[in-house]
Structure 1
């Protein structure tokens, strides 16, 4: 059965140029050409495109592309390793969400702070500026703290707190005699919240509106909806991984499963520039594109991800 680029494109609401681009990128297997140079697609190409569109919400555009490129060059183990990475990242994101929720519970008035996460399940353990032997535990609800004490409490560097101050996220007063920064209870609450939200992938500019809500309401209640949305997106991503795995398994089990081949060097048709790429900017609360091997560091020394959208 012969299919045209438009036949594949219509099923997914793509442009024909996007289909050609996906072939050129190795997302689709190479198409044969007619004697006049026209591409000839088959049900196998349609199946590969369905796999790709199922993989994108699960692993992001780049991750989905990397998985199918590995499949089409015959490196199934590499494709499975990329899928493993995606599942590991989802698990880490769930741990981070749990850490943020625990931190917010600790911020409730009159509640003693819960124990910090320990062991392999602790998300983004961070590095304390001082070795363990020199750390001095700070009180959970102090009337006032200096920058060094608060940095030790949050396990960040004093420079990180100063970065947050320049961004307007914390606003300590200055001691009139010494000029030292003094963090009151509200400042400590805000700094705790910033720390946990940074762990959850929020960018500094995305934290300010949330802090404004907390300050206006006098508590962390306004964040409950945001955390619920974060959890829902993690759930959707997990379900998308299940659906994508089923599609990929069927593709690999197909009688014409892809074998290793030389990459197709044919260029896409000239004059058509509409890429028709899917919008994959949203993953989860800062869920970075799971196809990337790592995160870009933020300006405050913590990992930066996309944050909520």
Structure 2
């Protein structure tokens, strides 16, 4: 059996020996045996576990990575795999949302370019619109706009004296985008997610860079998941081999 010191494990990843000890304490590494004087004895199993855990962090996040490793160390492989599966499912949902944002923005841009003049987004500084104005613009009922507001899709301000809803140009943009997505069959919760992405980017004109960055992050996470799967498989193989080996 090859024995390793905490510094051996730490050096490979450029982390501190205290971090290695903390990972063991938190259950991310299997418990280490001790020498009579109390020093930890690490093996190739611990080295493989550390590689697996550190590769899981960029793929699934620190918390999920910890849950995966702790599940393995209590011999609950299926519990660990469920967490992995959820991570892949979330990545797919994020990809679907990104695709929906791109399509919606593309449709909205085309609608403004080729649609009637009344469909053009009002320029900055345009007088705010009432809920009735926006409803007529989109050919929906005011009740529909209020439903979208309740779902978190729209966030119009209120006129201080009357309490009436006030739709700014950005609110009109959000309503147009929501209208397109609803016509495409998207549920309200999904529409709310898409509109929030557009709103946080500052509008469709500035969304392109944000979408490209989002795509890069999703790609990086997908690649990290591939790497993590290999590291995790290698850890399981080393762990099984070590368990089967006569002492």
Q: TM-score, normalised by structure 1?
A: 0.59
Higher relative contact order (CA 8 A, sep 6+): 1
Structure 1: 5+ residue runs without aligned partners?
A: 113-137, 166-170, 215-219, 260-309
Q: Quote the Cα distance in structure 1 between the aligned partners of 2:15 and 2:45.
A: 18
Q: Quote the Cα distance in structure 2 between the aligned partners of 1:15 and 1:38.
A: 16
Q: Quote the Cα distance in structure 2 between the aligned partners of 1:181 and 1:146.
A: 14
2:206 paired residue number: 222
Q: Quote the Cα distance in structure 2 between the aligned partners of 1:86 and 1:238.
A: 10
Q: Quote the Cα distance in structure 2 between the aligned partners of 1:46 and 1:20.
A: 12
Indicate the SS of the match to 1:27: coil
Identify which of 142, 149, 152 aligns with 2:137: 142
Q: TM-score, normalised by structure 2?
A: 0.72
- 1:244 maps onto 2:228 in alignment: yes
Correspondence 1:1-309 to 2 at 5 A? 1-108=2-109, 109-110=112-113, 142=137, 148-152=143-147, 155-157=148-150, 161=154, 164-165=155-156, 180-183=164-167, 186-191=170-175, 199=193, 207=200, 210-211=201-202, 214=203, 220-254=204-238, 256=240
Q: Quote the Cα distance in structure 2 between the aligned partners of 1:227 and 1:203.
A: 9
* CA-based RMSD: 3.6
CA pair 184-106 structure 1, distance change in 2 beyond 3 A: farther
Q: Quote the Cα distance in structure 2 between the aligned partners of 1:91 and 1:225.
A: 21
- Structure with greater proportional helix content: 2
CA pair 67-186 structure 1, distance change in 2 beyond 3 A: closer
Q: Quote the Cα distance in structure 2 between the aligned partners of 1:229 and 1:85.
A: 23
Structure 2: 5+ residue runs without aligned partners?
A: 116-132, 179-188
Q: Deviations over 1:126-150 (max 9, x none)?
A: xxxxxxxxxxxx9898179886342
Q: Quote the Cα distance in structure 1 between the aligned partners of 2:164 and 2:137.
A: 17
How many residue pairs end up in the alignment?
Answer: 213
Shift of 1:254: 2.1
Larger-Rg structure: 2
Whether contact under 8 Å (2:60, 2:87) holds in the other structure is yes
Whether contact under 8 Å (1:144, 1:183) holds in the other structure is no
